[in-house]
């Protein structure tokens, strides 16, 4: 049964309704992203997530820092490694950045961060990129051990307005060099995508450039199709948007919720054929709700504690 354009036939032993055993193994050590307002609706994350699941806390424009801190503290107290977003362009100055980092460390026990440029066009202060955040030296000063950065398999016109990849490539190579000359534990976390080929082609290309950082591939959790299309358009998802559009034209699938079975299976089979690939695990965007996403992930994977993740 051929699904999408993965460059090979996709094993359908567990489809529909679940992933193949091969894909289930690939899904080990997944991470998930929440926002303070969505996390507040969850009574207990321990009831939803395997032990040691890394939880990213998204810092959306307008979210008060105290809400971010409270969410990080709560998740830490429940036993999960927490990785808050640090979006450079919404930070007014270096003093504010230091306050955030210090309070995350001292009040919530956080030692990990996802460093981003941020989703606004004009920086509020002097900081505008993940590189500038790193260059402050503050994360090292306060004992942060894991610094993850963003990856863009389908490009990013906010960075490369001409449609090329020149600046995003140069940025990744700078981060690769920083990782090589320091003891920072780094990885690349991608925007969600719906086409495995778009991700694997990009992973091969940046590896050829000299990038060696592991890639945590973003996938969208189960959601209504119209919800996903709205998120995809607003987040700049490129070629893989065609996968959703094709699904929308199929009346038999239009009314059924999207599940990431096909893209996960494609990624897993690629990884099995290319074990040296930078692709190492998945990161879940719960666009259809945290419970929907965690329920789907837990159905696909063994009910065993997750190992430590990089």
**Position 175 in a domain:** yes
Q: What is the pTM (predicted TM-score) of this model? A: 0.86
Structure tokens of 43?
A: 């009574």
Do residues 301 and 295 make contact, with C-beta atoms less than 8 angstroms apart? no
- pLDDT score of 10: 37
Give the closest residue to 221 by CA, choosing from 178, 257, 273, 248: 257
308 falls within a domain: no
Q: What was the pLDDT predicted at 25? A: 86
Q: What is the mean pLDDT of residues 281-293?
A: 95
Q: What is the pLDDT of residue 20?
A: 79
Higher per-residue confidence, 154 vs 186:
186
**Three-state secondary structure readout of the chain:** CCCCCCCCCCCCCCCCCCCCHHHHHHCCCCEEEECHHHHCCCCCCCCCCCCCCCEEECCCCCCCHHHHHHHHHHHHHCCCCEEEEEEHHHCCCHHHHHHHHHHHHHHHCCCEEEEECCCCCCCCCCCCCHHHHHHCCHHHHCCCCEEEEEECCCCCCCCCCCCCCHHHHHHHHHHHHHHHHCCCEEEEEEEECCCHHHHHHHHHHHHHHCCCCCEEEEEECCECHHHHHHHHHHHCCCCCHHHHHHHHCCHHHHCCCECCHHHHHHHHHHHHHCCCCCEEEEEEECCCCHHHHHHHHHHHCCCCCCCCCC
Query: Is 197 within a domain?
Result: yes
> What rounded mean pLDDT belongs to the chain?
85
Confidence (pLDDT) at 158: 64
* pLDDT of the residue at 23: 85
Quote the Cα angle for 56-310-113, to 5°.
35
In the structure encoding, which two tokens stand for residue 12, read together? 């359908």
Higher pLDDT, 264 or 233: 264
Q: pLDDT band for position 244 (50/70/90)?
A: low
Length reported for the chain = 310
CATH code, domain carrying 225: 3.20.20.220
Kindly state whether residue 3 falls inside one of the protein's structural domains.
Answer: no
Asked if the structure places residue 4 within a domain, the reply is no
Q: Is residue 6 part of a domain?
A: no
Q: Which of 35-39, 87-91, 231-235, 284-288 has the lowest mean pLDDT?
A: 231-235
pLDDT tens per residue, range 163-180: 667 889 999 999 999 999
Q: Is 56 exposed, middle or buried (0-12, 13-18, 19+ CB in 10 A)?
A: buried
Give the list of residues 6+ apart from residue 106 with CB closer than 8 angstroms, or none.
none
What does the pLDDT look like over 27-45, one tens digit per residue? 989 999 999 999 999 999 9
Q: What is the pLDDT of residue 222?
A: 92
Say if 33 falls within a structural domain: yes
Predicted local confidence at residue 199, as pLDDT: 95
pLDDT at 19 over 90: no
**Cβ atoms 240, 200 nearer than 8 A:** no
Contact 279, 203 (CB under 8 A): yes
Question: How much is the average pLDDT of 106-112?
Answer: 98
Q: Which of 203-212, 246-255, 289-298 has the lowest mean pLDDT?
A: 246-255
Question: What is the number of domains present in the chain?
Answer: 1
Q: How far apart are CA 139 and CA 77, in angstroms?
A: 22
* Domain assignment present for 106: yes
pLDDT at residue 243 greater than cutoff 90: no
Domain containing residue 80: 21-300
The predicted pLDDT at position 81 comes to: 98
Rounded mean pLDDT of 270-292?
96
Distance from C-alpha of 109 to C-alpha of 72, rounded to nearest angstrom: 8
Q: Is the pLDDT of residue 253 over 70?
A: no
């Amino acid at each position: 049964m051929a699904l999408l354009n993965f460059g090979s036939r996709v094993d359908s032993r567990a489809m529909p309704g679940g992933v193949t055993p091969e894909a289930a193994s690939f899904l080990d050590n997944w991470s998930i992203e929440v926002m303070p307002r969505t996390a507040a609706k969850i009574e207990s994350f321990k009831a939803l997530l395997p032990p040691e699941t890394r939880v990213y806390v998204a810092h959306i424009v307008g979210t008060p820092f105290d809400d971010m801190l409270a969410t990080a503290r709560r998740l830490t107290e429940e036993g999960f490694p927490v990785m808050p977003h640090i979006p450079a362009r919404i930070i007014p100055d270096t003093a504010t950045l230091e306050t955030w980092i210090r309070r995350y460390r001292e009040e919530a026990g956080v030692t990990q961060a996802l460093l981003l440029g941020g989703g606004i066009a004009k920086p509020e202060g002097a900081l505008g990129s993940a590189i500038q955040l790193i260059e402050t030296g503050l994360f090292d000063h306060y004992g942060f051990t894991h610094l993850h950065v963003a990856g863009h398999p389908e490009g990013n016109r906010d960075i490369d307005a001409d449609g090329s990849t020149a600046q995003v490539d140069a940025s990744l190579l700078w981060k690769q060099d920083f990782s090589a000359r320091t003891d920072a534990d780094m990885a690349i976390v991608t925007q969600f995508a719906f086409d495995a080929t778009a991700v694997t082609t990009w992973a091969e290309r940046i590896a050829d450039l000299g990038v060696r950082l592991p890639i945590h591939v973003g996938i969208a959790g189960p959601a209504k199709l119209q919800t996903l299309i709205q998120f995809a358009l607003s987040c700049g998802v490129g070629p893989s948007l065609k996968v959703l559009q094709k699904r929308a034209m199929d009346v038999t699938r239009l009314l059924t919720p999207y599940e990431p079975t096909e893209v996960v299976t494609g990624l897993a089979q690629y990884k099995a054929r290319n074990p040296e690939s930078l692709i190492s695990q998945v990161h879940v965007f719960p666009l259809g709700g945290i419970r929907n996403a965690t329920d789907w992930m837990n159905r696909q994977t063994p009910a065993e504690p997750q190992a430590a993740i990089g």
